[in-house]
Amino acid sequence: MTILKGIIAYSVTPFRENGQVDLSLFRRLTERLVQSGADAIAPLGSTGVLPYLNDAEREALITATAEQVNGRLPILAGVSHLTTERTIHHARFAEKAGVDAVMIIPMSYWKLSEEEIYRHYEAVAGSISIPVMAYNNPATGGLDMAPALLKRLLQIPNVCMIKESTGDIQRMHSLRSELGEDVAFYNGSNPLALAAFAAGAKGWCTAAPNLVPELNRSLYEAVQQDRLEEARSLFYRQSELLRFIVAKGLPRAIQAGLELQGVEAGHLRSPLQPLSPAEKQELKQILENCGAL
């Protein structure tokens, strides 16, 4: 099975002023990510405001990504939904569209039991043949999957990757201790980039390549080549930005950053609002500090 690695770059979903998805701009931003040196492209993640999109919009975005990337890089598509039935629908659609792997976060309104989470993954993974990345992010999804549950999910045949976004490095240590050296775990918490690579993460799931792709890639390469001191230095050059984009919310922060870099970025969908002028000014300074402006 395809195992992703390195820098997995997350797409933003731009909207027109009238509230509709701007597919044409989405394609241009996707092309930009492909050419930035990323190792994989991930549409419809949290950055891509997946939960705010209806079925038709999700499908159009997956199709557009598949066409635009056109086999140049692997695609990891988000297909999560509150209901199992719709998650299956979108997972199947993604597979047919030629996506290489799907990412699934168990979304909650009512907190799910471990058994409910397990059955949800089992039902969705069983409906497709491509690999599944189980994604843990209590801050957005509202559910926290402990290492023991993630271990159990890995027993489902095509659930073969874990993305950890709690922001707690000890979770990754536990995963690696319990699951062994070969477990494919990915870091989804930008401020943990250095610590997660030090801990053995196979890849970094991040929206940052929309703004600072070279810094992201250089950090990964320094770790790969065992140059810790250089990795530390590269990390601290981008850490302020990584904290900022998480603190402000990825869709808002990436949109503002792209505009500051002179790249058209479209509008956000309500209730999400653009950063305030003061926040944009702060971001401008941060981008200048790390040489990205």
**Which of 1, 16, 24, 82: binder of its own copies (CB under 8 A)?**
82
Calpha distance 189→256 (Å, rounded): 20
Single out the segment in contact with its own copies by CB under 8 A; choices: 27-35, 59-67, 95-103, 244-252: 244-252
Closest CB to its own copies among residues 34, 166: 166
**Which of 120, 163, 202, 217: binder of its own copies (CB under 8 A)?**
120
b/e per residue, 98-116, with b = 16+ CB within 10 A? bbbbbbbbbbeeeebeeee
Calpha distance 107→110 (Å, rounded): 9
224: Cβ contacts below 8 Å, ≥ 6 apart = none
The identity of residue 80, as a single letter, is S
43: Cβ contacts below 8 Å, ≥ 6 apart = 10, 11, 13, 30, 61, 62, 65, 75, 77, 78
Taking the C-alpha atoms of 276, 282, 287 and 288 in order, what is their torsion angle to the nearest 10 degrees? Answer: 130
Q: Could you say whether residue 113 binds its own copies (CB under 8 A)?
A: yes
Half-sphere exposure of 102 (CA within 13 A, CB side): 31
Q: Could you say whether residue 251 binds its own copies (CB under 8 A)?
A: yes
Unique residue bearing structure tokens 């797409």: 11
Q: What number of chain residues touch its own copies (CB under 8 A)?
A: 62
The identity of residue 132, as a single letter, is V
**Which of 114, 142, 179, 259: binder of its own copies (CB under 8 A)?**
142
In whole angstroms, the minimum distance from the beta carbon of 61 to its own copies comes to 16
Contact letters for its own copies, residues 143-172 (x by CB under 8 A): ------------------------xxxx--
Q: Could you say whether residue 269 binds its own copies (CB under 8 A)?
A: yes
Q: Could you say whether residue 116 binds its own copies (CB under 8 A)?
A: yes
Tell how strand 159-164 and strand 203-206 pair up: unpaired
Strand partners, 203: 6, 186
Single out the segment in contact with its own copies by CB under 8 A; choices: 6-14, 23-31, 187-195, 209-217: 187-195
Among positions 208-237, residues that touch its own copies (CB under 8 A) are 223, 226-229, 231-232, 236
Q: Could you say whether residue 52 binds its own copies (CB under 8 A)?
A: yes
Q: Could you say whether residue 284 binds its own copies (CB under 8 A)?
A: no
In whole angstroms, the minimum distance from the beta carbon of 115 to its own copies comes to 7
Cis peptide before 271 (omega within 30 of 0): yes
User: Footprint of its own copies on this chain (CB under 8 A)?
Assistant: 19, 46, 49-52, 82-85, 106-107, 109-113, 115-117, 119-120, 123, 139-142, 167-170, 173-174, 176-177, 191-192, 194-195, 198-200, 223, 226-229, 231-232, 236, 239-240, 243, 249-252, 269-273
